[in-house]
């Protein structure tokens, strides 16, 4: 990926001082302003390339649309619930979190709540202070030999499993992404939720909040659990249905709950918070000195690495950039954008309906994703209302009704390291293929016209379609001279029959392509 210029960053919340230090040590100007209103943030953010937040700042679509220069939103923490990722993506802004910064702290709090539930530490502490019980009344349960169900086997789920196994707990889990053989290597047997619910003495959830996880634990799933099951949520409020949880607590189906997160924070569901079998915390998962120091430094280092073009860690909406941190990828991105721009010029008056991008050859295997985006950037650039980049261009294409397909195939004879693109516009197919040769993007073929010599995709190019003729070049040269345009290079196709595409390097673009209509059937021009 070509380095992204980030010269100024606004930090809108209290983060570890190391965050500012790292950014400033790398030449980035930092301003810290806390507790801003939405209107104040919208007015302030216009002048910055980057924004660093924790969880209090609500980075809404209004804030994002007010940010004229914003390129990166850094969340010093794991979740990005407070950031409108869709709006940021549409504007081509990278949203980044610190995926491992608070892992240990969140895992340790989860374990603390599991242990507190087993021994009812908070309840008995309160009763002891009020001198309501004698020692023989204190009766808890051991964790040893019990079954812990872990829903979500990412970084935090893995750390919880490791720690609770040391108590002699059997750990089972569910995760639609982590392969079963991976979780098995750290002692967690995976199964479907329908199998998991009835086996668990304790359940802890560690998933993001998304439509598929809202209310994951509800009346129906509680009914499938063991009577007296205890649950912990240190992930996101709403994963456990709060009303269903309260009903399960009141019926005894749920024997206790440890909650660090709620649907509304501070929590307004007082009957749940005040229930004697509920341990409530005010969202403390990342509230340790170590986690805050780690998250603050991590987000700064991640921004610096991105700016320097080293790598991209924690980008939640820019997976396409993952393989773009090498010189070869920069050249391929230029190739894709150039091929897209060439096809755009050929279809200037037509609306693209579908586009097929095919990468060919082993050296292109990991580039299909970002090459597809690069071609679309070239194709959609300068469209009314569009500011496409590799981050937002797929969603912009979808909004425009363009069907995008991408494939990779093995090399065909000598064709290795080739990008082939076909566009269908107004029922007509346009094709182009290109590659990188000697570090320079070149055009190999245009709509079945294979050029004798690869055409460097740079400078001012005039493309025209005409029947092969000995007088063609002189005729076109004369028309160009009349318009004050000089020919700098000429590329002809190998074939000499039928209507063919030619490419001419010119000193400047024609004011009006109609000047060529007496000699050619179609014409296009582009500056690369």
Coil, helix or strand at residue 429: strand
CATH T-level fold of 323-449 = 60s Ribosomal Protein L30; Chain: A; (3.30.1330)
The answer to whether residue 24 is catalytic is no
Q: Spell out the residues 6+ positions from residue 335 whose beta carbon is closer than 8 angstroms to its own.
A: 371, 374, 419, 434, 435, 436, 441, 457
Give me the DSSP letters along 311-367. ---SBSS-GGGTT--SHHHHHHHHHHHHHHHHHHHHTTTS-EEEEEEEEESGGGTTT
Name the DSSP class of 202: E
Give me the DSSP letters along 280-316. E-SS-TT-SHHHHHHHHHHHHHHHHHHHTTS---SBS
Same fold, 8-101+290-317 and 102-280: yes
Cα separation of the two ends of the chain: 19
Write down the domain spans for the chain.
Answer: 8-101+290-317, 102-280, 323-449, 459-527
Question: If we measure between CA atoms, which residue out of 431, 303, 438, 416 comes closest to residue 367?
Answer: 416
Question: If we measure between CA atoms, which residue out of 88, 84, 81 comes closest to residue 50?
Answer: 88
Task: Single out the catalytic residue among 29, 119, 170, 283.
Answer: 283
Residues counted in the chain: 528
121: part of which helix (H) or strand (E)?
A: helix 121-129
Q: Does domain 8-101+290-317 have CATH number 3.40.50.720?
A: yes
Question: If we measure between CA atoms, which residue out of 377, 391, 327 comes closest to residue 71?
Answer: 391
Q: How many CB atoms lie within 10 A of CB 284?
A: 15
Name the DSSP class of 446: E
Cα 98 from Cα 296, distance rounded (Å): 9
Cα 527 from Cα 87, distance rounded (Å): 31
Q: Which residue has 């294979």 as its token pair?
A: 450
Cα 77 from Cα 364, distance rounded (Å): 35
105: part of which helix (H) or strand (E)?
A: helix 103-119
The answer to whether residue 330 is catalytic is no
Question: If we measure between CA atoms, which residue out of 207, 208, 159 comes closest to residue 187?
Answer: 159
CATH number for the region 102-280 comes to 3.40.50.720
pLDDT tens, the chain, 528 aa long: 556 899 999 999 999 999 999 999 999 999 999 999 999 999 999 989 999 999 889 999 999 999 999 999 999 988 888 999 999 999 999 999 998 888 999 999 999 999 999 988 776 666 555 555 555 556 789 999 999 999 999 999 999 999 999 999 999 999 999 999 999 999 999 999 999 999 999 999 999 888 999 999 999 999 999 999 999 999 999 999 999 999 999 999 999 999 999 999 899 999 999 999 999 999 999 889 999 999 999 999 999 999 998 888 999 998 888 788 877 888 999 999 999 999 999 988 788 889 999 999 888 888 889 999 999 999 998 775 668 999 999 999 988 899 999 999 887 765 678 999 999 988 899 999 999 999 999 999 999 899 999 999 999 999 999 998 889 999 999 999 999 999 999 999 998 888 999 999 999 999 999 989 889 999 999 999
182: part of which helix (H) or strand (E)?
A: helix 180-185
3-state helix, strand, coil in the chain (%, to 5): 35, 25, 40
pTM: 0.78
The answer to whether residue 486 is catalytic is no
Task: Single out the catalytic residue among 142, 194, 220, 265.
Answer: 265
CATH architecture of 459-527: 2-Layer Sandwich (3.30)
Task: Single out the catalytic residue among 90, 236, 275, 420.
Answer: 236
- How far, CA to CA in Å, does 380 sit from each of 69, 344, 347, 386, 387? 20, 8, 11, 7, 8
Cα 50 from Cα 47, distance rounded (Å): 9
Q: The tokens of 278 are what?
A: 């509920």
């Amino acid at each position: 990926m070509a380095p992204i210029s980030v010269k100024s960053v606004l930090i809108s919340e209290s983060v570890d001082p190391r965050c500012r230090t790292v950014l400033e040590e790398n030449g980035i100007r930092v301003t810290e302003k806390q507790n801003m209103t939405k209107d104040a943030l919208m007015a302030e953010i216009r002048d910055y390339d980057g924004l660093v937040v924790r969880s209090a700042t609500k980075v809404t679509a209004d804030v994002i649309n007010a940010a004229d220069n914003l390129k990166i939103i850094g969340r010093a923490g794991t979740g990005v619930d407070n950031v409108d990722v869709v709006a940021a993506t549409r504007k081509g802004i990278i949203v980044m979190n610190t995926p491992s910064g608070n892992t240990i702290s969140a895992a340790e709090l989860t374990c603390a709540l599991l242990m507190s539930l087993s021994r009812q530490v908070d309840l008995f502490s309160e009763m002891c202070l009020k001198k309501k019980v004698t020692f023989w009344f204190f009766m808890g349960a051991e964790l040893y030999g019990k079954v812990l169900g872990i829903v979500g086997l990412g970084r935090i789920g893995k750390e919880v499993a490791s720690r609770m196994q040391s108590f002699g707990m059997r750990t089972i889990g569910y995760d639609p992404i982590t392969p079963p053989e991976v979780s098995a290597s750290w002692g967690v047997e995976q199964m479907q939720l329908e199998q998991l619910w009835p086996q668990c003495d304790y359940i802890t959830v560690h998933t993001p909040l998304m439509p598929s996880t809202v209310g994951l634990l509800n009346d129906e799933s509680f009914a499938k659990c063991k009577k007296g099951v205890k649950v912990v949520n240190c992930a996101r409020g709403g994963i456990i249905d709060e009303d269903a949880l309260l009903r399960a607590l009141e019926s005894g189906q749920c024997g206790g709950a440890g909650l660090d997160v709620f649907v509304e924070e501070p929590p307004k569901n007082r009957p749940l918070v005040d229930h004697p079998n509920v341990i409530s915390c005010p969202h403390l998962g990342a509230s340790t000195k170590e986690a805050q120091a780690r998250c603050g430094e991590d987000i700064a280092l991640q921004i610096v690495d991105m700016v320097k073009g080293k790598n991209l860690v924690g980008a939640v909406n820019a997976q396409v950039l993952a393989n773009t941190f090498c010189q070869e990828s920069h050249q391929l991105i230029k190739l894709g954008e150039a091929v897209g721009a060439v096809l755009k010029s050929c279809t200037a008056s037509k609306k693209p309906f579908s586009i097929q991008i095919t990468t060919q050859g082993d050296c292109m295997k990991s580039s299909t994703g970002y090459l597809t985006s690069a071609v679309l950037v070239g194709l959609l650039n300068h469209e009314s209302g569009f500011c496409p980049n590799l981050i937002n261009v797929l969603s912009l294409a979808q909004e425009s009704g363009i069907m995008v397909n991408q494939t990779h195939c093995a090399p065909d004879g000598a064709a290795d390291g080739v990008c082939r693109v076909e566009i269908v516009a107004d029922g007509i197919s346009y094709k182009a293929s290109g590659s990188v040769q000697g570090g320079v993007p070149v055009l190999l073929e245009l709509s079945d016209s294979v050029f004798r010599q690869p055409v460097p995709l740079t400078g001012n190019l005039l493309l025209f379609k005409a029947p092969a003729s000995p007088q063609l070049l002189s005729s076109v040269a004369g028309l160009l001279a009349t318009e004050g345009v000089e020919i700098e290079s000429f590329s002809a196709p190998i074939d000499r029959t039928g209507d063919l595409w030619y490419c001419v390097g010119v000193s400047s673009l024609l004011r009006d392509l109609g000047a060529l209509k007496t000699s050619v059937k179609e014409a296009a021009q582009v500056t690369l």
